[in-house]
Amino acid sequence: MSLIPISRALISVYSKEGLESLAKLLHHYGVEIYSTGGTQAYLENLGIPVITVESLTGYPSILDGRVKTLHPKVFGGILARREEGHLAELNEMDIPPFDLVVVDLYPFEETVASGAGEAEIIEKIDIGGISLIRAAAKNFNDVVVIPSKLSYKPLVEALEKNAGSTTLAERLSFARAAFGVTSQYDAAIYAYFQGDETFSESLRLTENNRVDLRYGENPHQKAVFYGDFDDMFEKLAGKELSFNNLTDIDAAVGLISEFEKDGPTMVILKHTNPCGVATRSTIKEAWLAALAADPVSAFGGIFISNVSIDMATAVEIDHLFYEVLIAPNFAEDALNFLSKKKNRILLKLKKPKIQNISVKSLLNGVIVQENDVVTEEREICKVATKLEPTENQWRDMMFAAKCCKHLKSNVIVLAKDNQLLSMGCGQTSRIDALEQAVVKANKYGFDLNGAVMASDAFFPFPDCVEVAERAGIKAVIQPGGSVKDQESIDFCDAHNMAMVITGIRHFRH
């Protein structure tokens, strides 16, 4: 097991939260503790004897505390391998070897988030602490590194289990976490100097917010979630969340955010694609209308509402098996009723946060982009046809455009009366997507006469508006931009159809 007892420790931390139990345990095992500044004073107030780093280095803390531990007598004791040559060199230079380094860095990200001025932010760039972490992590064969207050408890557990020693596997695990902390810390600093803290937020790959999932998209794939799930949601009931649950929940929150200012709206998603969306005067009516669009696909789906779930709606939803139900609130009787089915996950959405940046591994690197946060507004749309849309058509086109934006390309959405009637998505041609949508609408008994059509990208040929017209579609919203736009416009003019061009494409891969 490569057990190594801890005899000597260097402790230099910003946050003292949780440190007391660790420090007292180290003292119990007779560990010699070196420290500096505020940490030293904190430990001494606990009655724990401390040797000052100053007495080791022969130098006081200088430059307003900017330099305290940066010295060969500190880093030599951390980086020395426990082999004859290195130990002899330490002995010759009177350098004590350190078996444990405990650090908690200056709160750089928190200081940026607080709106502090530049001078204060710069002073929160930790130099000595980050160097101590990297040195100890590099020498994990012989040294234990604790890179943040979140690792105090795991170390206490390891020491209690091993009577003051650690195993190589434990040291390696702490080192892995340490490099996660340093990489995130450096990414946050880089993002600040780039003027983009959102990129840093999307790379929070540290043990601070790591959750190991049961598995990934499929059982043979491992998966981990990095993020503060509890900051956005309160889990009220149900089993543990899976990779697929989280992916669908992300898609659900993105779409329901489009309806934040609308009336009661229910969204049903399957594999991140909305297959039912409706806005009505009550959430029960919205649920029934959303379900009508595709009751088959809704089975085992993710449901999300923009208003509280009442008892009447809960009874209707309970007829169908689902994975996750999300709402800003639940009536007490509705929550008690829905909680009876133990595996179904109920989430209270506390504060939706839509990331501005998305990061995806690709080829031999990663690809980063701004997220598509643009939503069509009537004011930016241009009526391309002679016929002006009616007020009802405008309403339905804005509704359809919101749905269209959150489906996988190629996409066609058919909608009427604030209800998704059907959609075609993930098709290799736009005409296939449209034909899929028409067939699906007919399958579930919807009358497409007077409905509207939305497309995520332009029509390369007039065939889509031709098929739409035969199906009864009377208004079309699309980005435009094709060299053959005029052919589609001319067809609409000849057949009493309205067309609106947005100028905004919504490809989604």
Question: Which residues are annotated as catalytic?
Answer: 138, 271
Cβ-proximal residues to 381 (8 Å cutoff; 6+ apart), any chain: 397, 477, 500, 501, 502
Q: Rounded to the nearest 5°, which phi and psi values hold at 460? A: -70, -20
Pairing status of strand 4-5 against strand 165-166 = antiparallel
Number of residues assigned to the chain: 509
Q: How far apart are CA 407 and CA 506, in angstroms?
A: 9
Residues 6+ apart with CB under 8 A from 211: 224, 225, 226, 227, 229
In whole angstroms, what is the distance from residue 158 CA to residue 148 CA?
A: 16
Helical axes 72-79 vs 128-138, angle rounded to 10°: 30
Of 194, 200, 142, 213, nearest to 172 (Cα)? 142
DSSP 283-342: HHHHHHHHHHT-TTTTTTEEEEESS-B-HHHHHHHTTS-EEEEEES-B-HHHHHHHTTST
Cα distance between residue 219 and residue 227, in whole Å: 22
* Burial of residue 62, with CB atoms counted within 10 A of its CB: 0-12 exposed, 13-18 middle, 19 or more buried: exposed
Amino acid at 197: E
Structure tokens at 483: 């060299």
**Which residues are paired to 302 by β-bridges?**
269, 324
Residues 6+ apart with CB under 8 A from 50: 33, 34, 35, 40, 43, 44
Q: How far apart are the first and last CA of the chain?
A: 47
Interatomic CA distance for residues 82 and 162, integer angstroms: 20
What 3 state SS string does 443-499 have?
A: HCCCCCCCCEEEECCCCCCCHHHHHHHHHCCCEEEECCCCCCHHHHHHHHHHCCCEE
CA distance 205 to 4: 29
Tokens 């929070």, located at residue: 204
Do 72 and 44 meet the contact criterion of CB atoms below 8 Å apart? Answer: no
